[in-house]
Chain A
Amino acid sequence: MSTNKADKFKSLMRSPSGNQENKEEIILPTEIAKSPAHELVQISGKKKATFELDAELHRWLKVHALTINKDMVQILEEVLRKYRTETERK
Protein backbone atom coordinates (compact mmCIF):
# COMPACT_ATOMS: atom_id res chain seq x y z
CA MET A 1 0.00 0.00 0.00
CA SER A 2 1.23 3.49 -0.88
CA THR A 3 1.12 5.52 2.34
CA ASN A 4 2.47 8.86 1.14
CA LYS A 5 -0.85 10.66 1.29
CA ALA A 6 -2.03 8.82 4.41
CA ASP A 7 1.23 9.92 6.09
CA LYS A 8 0.93 13.46 4.81
CA PHE A 9 -2.47 13.90 6.45
CA LYS A 10 -2.07 11.68 9.50
CA SER A 11 -2.19 14.71 11.80
CA LEU A 12 -5.86 14.96 10.84
CA MET A 13 -6.70 11.54 12.24
CA ARG A 14 -7.52 10.94 15.87
CA SER A 15 -5.83 8.03 17.62
CA PRO A 16 -7.96 5.53 19.61
CA SER A 17 -7.05 7.46 22.77
CA GLY A 18 -8.83 10.47 21.30
CA ASN A 19 -5.68 12.47 20.67
CA GLN A 20 -4.69 13.63 17.25
CA GLU A 21 -1.52 11.99 16.06
CA ASN A 22 1.59 13.97 15.27
CA LYS A 23 0.19 17.11 16.91
CA GLU A 24 3.64 18.55 17.59
CA GLU A 25 4.31 18.81 13.86
CA ILE A 26 3.56 22.39 12.96
CA ILE A 27 5.74 22.85 9.88
CA LEU A 28 3.59 23.65 6.86
CA PRO A 29 4.39 21.67 3.74
CA THR A 30 4.95 23.93 0.75
CA GLU A 31 1.76 22.63 -0.84
CA ILE A 32 -0.25 23.91 2.11
CA ALA A 33 1.35 27.33 1.83
CA LYS A 34 -0.18 27.57 -1.64
CA SER A 35 -3.73 26.82 -0.57
CA PRO A 36 -6.35 29.61 -0.60
CA ALA A 37 -7.13 28.99 3.07
CA HIS A 38 -3.52 29.69 3.93
CA GLU A 39 -3.78 32.99 2.11
CA LEU A 40 -6.80 33.80 4.25
CA VAL A 41 -4.87 33.36 7.46
CA GLN A 42 -1.91 35.29 6.10
CA ILE A 43 -3.92 38.52 6.02
CA SER A 44 -4.06 38.50 9.83
CA GLY A 45 -0.57 40.03 10.02
CA LYS A 46 1.00 37.00 11.62
CA LYS A 47 4.39 35.49 10.81
CA LYS A 48 4.92 31.80 11.03
CA ALA A 49 7.52 30.61 13.54
CA THR A 50 8.54 27.03 14.22
CA PHE A 51 9.99 26.07 17.59
CA GLU A 52 10.87 22.85 19.36
CA LEU A 53 9.23 23.48 22.72
CA ASP A 54 9.89 21.50 25.90
CA ALA A 55 7.19 18.78 25.86
CA GLU A 56 6.09 19.29 29.48
CA LEU A 57 5.92 23.05 29.03
CA HIS A 58 3.96 22.58 25.81
CA ARG A 59 1.47 20.30 27.57
CA TRP A 60 1.00 22.80 30.40
CA LEU A 61 0.56 25.68 27.98
CA LYS A 62 -2.03 23.77 26.00
CA VAL A 63 -4.11 22.92 29.07
CA HIS A 64 -3.70 26.41 30.56
CA ALA A 65 -4.74 28.06 27.27
CA LEU A 66 -7.89 25.93 27.15
CA THR A 67 -8.66 26.70 30.80
CA ILE A 68 -8.51 30.46 30.33
CA ASN A 69 -10.06 30.29 26.83
CA LYS A 70 -7.07 31.80 25.05
CA ASP A 71 -4.90 30.64 22.18
CA MET A 72 -1.46 29.28 23.04
CA VAL A 73 -0.01 31.93 20.75
CA GLN A 74 -1.80 34.73 22.61
CA ILE A 75 -0.20 33.63 25.88
CA LEU A 76 3.24 33.31 24.33
CA GLU A 77 2.91 36.75 22.75
CA GLU A 78 1.91 38.31 26.10
CA VAL A 79 4.86 36.68 27.87
CA LEU A 80 7.28 37.70 25.14
CA ARG A 81 6.04 41.31 25.16
CA LYS A 82 6.48 41.45 28.93
CA TYR A 83 9.96 39.98 28.61
CA ARG A 84 10.84 42.46 25.89
CA THR A 85 9.69 45.41 28.02
CA GLU A 86 11.74 44.20 30.98
CA THR A 87 14.80 43.53 28.84
CA GLU A 88 14.65 46.91 27.15
CA ARG A 89 14.23 48.67 30.51
CA LYS A 90 17.56 47.30 31.75
Chain B
Amino acid sequence: MGIVISFGIQKGGVGKTTACAITAHLLSKEARVLAIDFDSQGNLTEFLTRRDIYDFTKQTILEAIQEKNPTPYIVRITDNLDLIPAEDILSTFSRWLYRDYKGDATQALRKTIDMVKDRYDYILIDLPPNLGDQTINGLTASDFAVVILQSEPFCYSALERYLETLTVVQQRTNERLALAGILIAMSDGRAGIDNSIVDKAKDEYGPMVFDSIIKRRSRIKEFVLEGIQDSTKFDQGVLESYIGFVEELKQRVNQ
Protein backbone atom coordinates (compact mmCIF):
# COMPACT_ATOMS: atom_id res chain seq x y z
CA MET B 1 0.00 0.00 0.00
CA GLY B 2 1.51 3.33 -1.05
CA ILE B 3 2.48 5.93 1.52
CA VAL B 4 0.86 9.24 0.64
CA ILE B 5 3.02 12.31 1.31
CA SER B 6 1.95 15.90 0.58
CA PHE B 7 4.25 18.88 0.10
CA GLY B 8 2.74 22.19 1.18
CA ILE B 9 2.68 25.53 2.95
CA GLN B 10 0.45 28.58 2.55
CA LYS B 11 3.13 30.54 0.73
CA GLY B 12 4.09 30.52 -2.94
CA GLY B 13 7.52 30.36 -4.53
CA VAL B 14 9.23 28.58 -1.66
CA GLY B 15 10.33 25.43 -3.49
CA LYS B 16 7.40 23.08 -2.84
CA THR B 17 7.08 21.88 -6.41
CA THR B 18 10.83 21.54 -6.90
CA ALA B 19 11.15 19.52 -3.70
CA CYS B 20 8.18 17.34 -4.70
CA ALA B 21 9.52 16.74 -8.22
CA ILE B 22 13.08 15.92 -7.16
CA THR B 23 11.85 13.73 -4.30
CA ALA B 24 9.65 11.82 -6.77
CA HIS B 25 12.62 11.42 -9.11
CA LEU B 26 14.95 10.17 -6.34
CA LEU B 27 12.41 7.83 -4.74
CA SER B 28 11.61 6.32 -8.14
CA LYS B 29 15.18 5.02 -8.43
CA GLU B 30 14.22 2.21 -6.08
CA ALA B 31 10.44 2.37 -5.64
CA ARG B 32 7.22 2.84 -7.59
CA VAL B 33 6.12 6.46 -7.33
CA LEU B 34 3.02 8.38 -8.37
CA ALA B 35 3.27 12.18 -8.33
CA ILE B 36 -0.01 14.09 -8.24
CA ASP B 37 -0.07 17.72 -9.34
CA PHE B 38 -2.82 19.27 -7.23
CA ASP B 39 -1.97 22.89 -7.97
CA SER B 40 -3.73 24.57 -10.90
CA GLN B 41 -0.48 26.32 -11.84
CA GLY B 42 0.61 22.93 -13.18
CA ASN B 43 4.28 23.48 -12.36
CA LEU B 44 4.87 19.89 -11.27
CA THR B 45 3.35 18.73 -14.56
CA GLU B 46 5.67 21.06 -16.46
CA PHE B 47 8.70 20.03 -14.39
CA LEU B 48 8.25 16.28 -14.76
CA THR B 49 6.97 16.14 -18.35
CA ARG B 50 8.77 19.22 -19.76
CA ARG B 51 5.65 19.79 -21.82
CA ASP B 52 3.09 22.58 -21.98
CA ILE B 53 0.40 22.07 -19.33
CA TYR B 54 -2.32 22.57 -21.97
CA ASP B 55 -1.16 19.36 -23.63
CA PHE B 56 -2.98 17.73 -20.73
CA THR B 57 -6.29 19.56 -21.00
CA LYS B 58 -9.16 17.24 -20.00
CA GLN B 59 -6.59 14.64 -18.89
CA THR B 60 -5.92 15.92 -15.38
CA ILE B 61 -6.45 15.11 -11.73
CA LEU B 62 -9.74 17.06 -11.88
CA GLU B 63 -11.22 14.64 -14.42
CA ALA B 64 -9.77 11.70 -12.45
CA ILE B 65 -11.65 12.85 -9.34
CA GLN B 66 -14.83 13.69 -11.23
CA GLU B 67 -14.91 10.28 -12.90
CA LYS B 68 -13.80 8.52 -9.71
CA ASN B 69 -11.19 6.69 -11.80
CA PRO B 70 -7.57 7.89 -11.88
CA THR B 71 -6.19 5.14 -14.14
CA PRO B 72 -6.88 6.76 -17.56
CA TYR B 73 -5.22 9.97 -16.38
CA ILE B 74 -1.91 8.50 -15.28
CA VAL B 75 1.03 9.64 -17.43
CA ARG B 76 4.14 7.45 -17.49
CA ILE B 77 7.29 9.55 -16.91
CA THR B 78 9.79 6.71 -16.41
CA ASP B 79 9.45 3.00 -15.66
CA ASN B 80 9.00 3.72 -11.95
CA LEU B 81 7.54 7.23 -11.99
CA ASP B 82 3.98 8.17 -12.96
CA LEU B 83 2.20 11.51 -12.86
CA ILE B 84 -1.38 12.70 -12.75
CA PRO B 85 -1.16 16.19 -14.30
CA ALA B 86 -2.94 19.47 -13.57
CA GLU B 87 -3.67 22.62 -15.47
CA ASP B 88 -5.67 25.82 -14.94
CA ILE B 89 -9.05 24.08 -14.93
CA LEU B 90 -8.26 22.63 -11.50
CA SER B 91 -9.15 26.07 -10.13
CA THR B 92 -12.82 25.08 -10.67
CA PHE B 93 -12.43 22.21 -8.18
CA SER B 94 -14.30 24.02 -5.36
CA ARG B 95 -17.19 25.01 -7.59
CA TRP B 96 -17.58 21.41 -8.80
CA LEU B 97 -17.22 20.09 -5.26
CA TYR B 98 -20.11 22.12 -3.88
CA ARG B 99 -22.34 22.09 -6.96
CA ASP B 100 -22.03 18.56 -8.24
CA TYR B 101 -20.13 16.30 -5.84
CA LYS B 102 -22.29 14.04 -3.74
CA GLY B 103 -20.42 13.15 -0.60
CA ASP B 104 -18.02 14.54 1.96
CA ALA B 105 -16.29 17.49 0.29
CA THR B 106 -13.05 16.80 2.16
CA GLN B 107 -12.66 13.21 0.92
CA ALA B 108 -12.89 13.47 -2.88
CA LEU B 109 -9.14 13.20 -3.56
CA ARG B 110 -8.63 10.50 -0.92
CA LYS B 111 -11.26 8.28 -2.55
CA THR B 112 -9.61 8.75 -5.95
CA ILE B 113 -6.13 7.95 -4.64
CA ASP B 114 -7.38 4.89 -2.74
CA MET B 115 -8.18 3.26 -6.08
CA VAL B 116 -4.52 3.13 -7.13
CA LYS B 117 -2.78 3.14 -3.75
CA ASP B 118 -1.74 -0.50 -3.94
CA ARG B 119 0.10 0.03 -7.25
CA TYR B 120 2.72 2.35 -5.73
CA ASP B 121 5.20 2.54 -2.86
CA TYR B 122 4.94 6.31 -2.58
CA ILE B 123 2.32 8.80 -3.73
CA LEU B 124 3.43 12.42 -3.58
CA ILE B 125 0.99 15.33 -3.76
CA ASP B 126 2.09 18.84 -4.70
CA LEU B 127 -0.31 21.22 -2.95
CA PRO B 128 -1.21 24.79 -3.92
CA PRO B 129 0.13 27.72 -1.87
CA ASN B 130 -3.24 28.66 -0.40
CA LEU B 131 -5.62 27.19 2.11
CA GLY B 132 -8.79 25.96 0.46
CA ASP B 133 -10.55 22.85 -0.72
CA GLN B 134 -7.53 21.58 -2.66
CA THR B 135 -5.24 21.81 0.37
CA ILE B 136 -7.85 20.31 2.72
CA ASN B 137 -8.48 17.46 0.26
CA GLY B 138 -4.75 16.93 -0.22
CA LEU B 139 -4.05 16.75 3.49
CA THR B 140 -7.09 14.55 4.07
CA ALA B 141 -5.68 12.12 1.51
CA SER B 142 -2.18 12.13 3.06
CA ASP B 143 -0.47 9.84 5.52
CA PHE B 144 2.34 12.35 5.99
CA ALA B 145 2.88 16.05 5.37
CA VAL B 146 6.18 17.64 4.45
CA VAL B 147 6.07 21.34 5.26
CA ILE B 148 8.41 23.52 3.22
CA LEU B 149 10.02 26.44 5.00
CA GLN B 150 11.90 28.95 2.89
CA SER B 151 14.24 30.82 5.19
CA GLU B 152 12.55 34.21 4.85
CA PRO B 153 10.19 36.05 7.24
CA PHE B 154 6.84 35.70 5.40
CA CYS B 155 7.29 31.96 5.07
CA TYR B 156 8.27 31.62 8.71
CA SER B 157 5.03 33.26 9.81
CA ALA B 158 3.08 30.96 7.45
CA LEU B 159 4.70 27.89 9.03
CA GLU B 160 2.83 27.97 12.34
CA ARG B 161 -0.49 28.67 10.62
CA TYR B 162 0.05 25.70 8.30
CA LEU B 163 0.89 23.41 11.24
CA GLU B 164 -2.35 24.55 12.88
CA THR B 165 -4.18 23.57 9.70
CA LEU B 166 -2.54 20.12 9.85
CA THR B 167 -3.75 19.77 13.44
CA VAL B 168 -7.31 20.63 12.45
CA VAL B 169 -7.23 18.18 9.54
CA GLN B 170 -5.84 15.49 11.84
CA GLN B 171 -8.66 16.09 14.31
CA ARG B 172 -11.47 16.49 11.82
CA THR B 173 -10.96 14.77 8.51
CA ASN B 174 -7.89 12.52 8.65
CA GLU B 175 -6.88 10.99 11.95
CA ARG B 176 -3.87 9.21 10.46
CA LEU B 177 -2.21 12.39 9.15
CA ALA B 178 1.26 12.91 10.66
CA LEU B 179 3.93 15.50 10.12
CA ALA B 180 6.92 13.97 8.33
CA GLY B 181 8.85 17.12 9.06
CA ILE B 182 9.73 20.69 8.19
CA LEU B 183 12.10 20.99 5.22
CA ILE B 184 14.13 24.19 4.99
CA ALA B 185 14.47 25.09 1.31
CA MET B 186 16.03 27.76 -0.90
CA SER B 187 18.29 28.80 1.91
CA ASP B 188 21.07 31.27 1.14
CA GLY B 189 23.90 30.53 3.57
CA ARG B 190 25.51 33.91 2.83
CA ALA B 191 22.50 35.88 4.04
CA GLY B 192 22.32 36.62 7.76
CA ILE B 193 18.52 36.64 7.82
CA ASP B 194 18.38 33.16 6.26
CA ASN B 195 20.77 31.77 8.85
CA SER B 196 18.89 33.32 11.76
CA ILE B 197 15.57 31.88 10.50
CA VAL B 198 17.18 28.45 10.14
CA ASP B 199 18.49 28.71 13.73
CA LYS B 200 15.12 29.93 15.01
CA ALA B 201 13.24 27.10 13.27
CA LYS B 202 15.61 24.47 14.70
CA ASP B 203 15.38 26.05 18.14
CA GLU B 204 11.59 26.28 18.18
CA TYR B 205 10.62 23.12 16.34
CA GLY B 206 13.52 20.86 17.31
CA PRO B 207 13.44 17.39 15.73
CA MET B 208 10.46 18.31 13.56
CA VAL B 209 12.97 20.04 11.27
CA PHE B 210 14.82 17.78 8.82
CA ASP B 211 18.61 17.87 9.24
CA SER B 212 19.05 18.30 5.49
CA ILE B 213 18.77 21.90 4.31
CA ILE B 214 18.15 22.66 0.64
CA LYS B 215 20.42 25.47 -0.52
CA ARG B 216 19.38 27.90 -3.24
CA ARG B 217 21.08 26.72 -6.48
CA SER B 218 20.50 28.28 -9.90
CA ARG B 219 21.17 24.92 -11.60
CA ILE B 220 17.82 23.68 -10.23
CA LYS B 221 16.01 26.16 -12.50
CA GLU B 222 17.75 24.60 -15.50
CA PHE B 223 16.43 21.18 -14.45
CA VAL B 224 12.94 22.49 -15.28
CA LEU B 225 14.02 22.87 -18.91
CA GLU B 226 16.46 19.96 -19.20
CA GLY B 227 14.94 17.47 -16.82
CA ILE B 228 16.61 16.36 -13.58
CA GLN B 229 20.25 15.53 -14.36
CA ASP B 230 22.60 13.52 -12.19
CA SER B 231 25.31 12.25 -14.54
CA THR B 232 27.96 14.89 -13.75
CA LYS B 233 29.72 15.47 -10.43
CA PHE B 234 28.40 19.04 -10.42
CA ASP B 235 24.77 17.93 -10.73
CA GLN B 236 25.29 15.21 -8.14
CA GLY B 237 26.49 17.99 -5.83
CA VAL B 238 23.38 20.04 -6.61
CA LEU B 239 21.20 17.06 -5.70
CA GLU B 240 23.18 16.08 -2.60
CA SER B 241 20.98 17.90 -0.08
CA TYR B 242 17.84 16.46 -1.72
CA ILE B 243 19.36 12.97 -1.48
CA GLY B 244 19.99 13.56 2.23
CA PHE B 245 16.42 14.77 2.68
CA VAL B 246 14.95 11.76 0.85
CA GLU B 247 16.93 9.38 3.08
CA GLU B 248 15.58 11.13 6.19
CA LEU B 249 12.07 11.15 4.73
CA LYS B 250 12.18 7.41 4.01
CA GLN B 251 13.31 6.72 7.56
CA ARG B 252 10.55 8.84 9.06
CA VAL B 253 7.66 7.51 6.98
CA ASN B 254 8.72 3.87 7.09
CA GLN B 255 9.12 3.69 10.89
Task: Name the one of B169, B207, B252 contacting A37, with C-beta atoms under 8 angstroms.
Answer: B169
Asked whether any CB of chain A lies closer than 8 Å to the CB of B21, the reply is: no
> Known: A12-B179, A37-B131. Is A26-B171 also a contact (CB below 8 A)?
yes
Closest Cβ of chain B to A58, distance in Å, is: 12
Q: Size band of the B side of the interface?
A: 20 to 34
Task: Name the one of B164, B173, B205, B206 contacting A41, with C-beta atoms under 8 angstroms.
Answer: B173
Closest Cβ of chain B to A34, distance in Å, is: 8
Asked whether any CB of chain B lies closer than 8 Å to the CB of A40, the reply is: yes
CB–CB B178/A20 < 8 A = yes
Q: Which residues on B sit within 8 Å (CB–CB) of A11?
A: 167, 170
CB–CB B168/A41 < 8 A = yes
Asked whether any CB of chain B lies closer than 8 Å to the CB of A6, the reply is: yes
> Cα distance A29–B178 when bound, in Å?
18
Q: Which residues on A sit within 8 Å (CB–CB) of B178?
A: 12-14, 20
Q: Which residues on A sit within 8 Å (CB–CB) of B171?
A: 26, 28
Q: Which residues on B sit within 8 Å (CB–CB) of A16?
A: 255
Q: Which residues on A sit within 8 Å (CB–CB) of B135?
A: 37
- Beta-carbon contacts under 8 Å, B199-224 to A: 203-208
Closest Cβ of chain A to B141, distance in Å, is: 15
- Quick one: closest A residue to B161, CB to CB? A35
Asked whether any CB of chain B lies closer than 8 Å to the CB of A76, the reply is: no
Q: Bits for B190-203, please: 1 = Cβ < 8 Å to A, else 0.
A: 00000000000001
> Cα distance A3–B164 when bound, in Å?
16
Asked whether any CB of chain A lies closer than 8 Å to the CB of B80, the reply is: no
Asked whether any CB of chain B lies closer than 8 Å to the CB of A2, the reply is: yes
- Beta-carbon contacts under 8 Å, A28-61 to B: 28-29, 31-32, 35-38, 40-41
CB–CB A36/B131 < 8 A = yes
> Known: A31-B164, A37-B169, A40-B136. Is A2-B131 also a contact (CB below 8 A)?
no
Binding site for B on A (CB under 8 A): 1-6, 8-9, 11-14, 16, 18, 20, 26, 28-29, 31-32, 35-38, 40-41
Known: A28-B168, A31-B164. 8 other contacts (CB 8 A): A2-B204, A5-B160, A12-B166, A12-B167, A28-B171, A35-B164, A37-B135, A40-B136
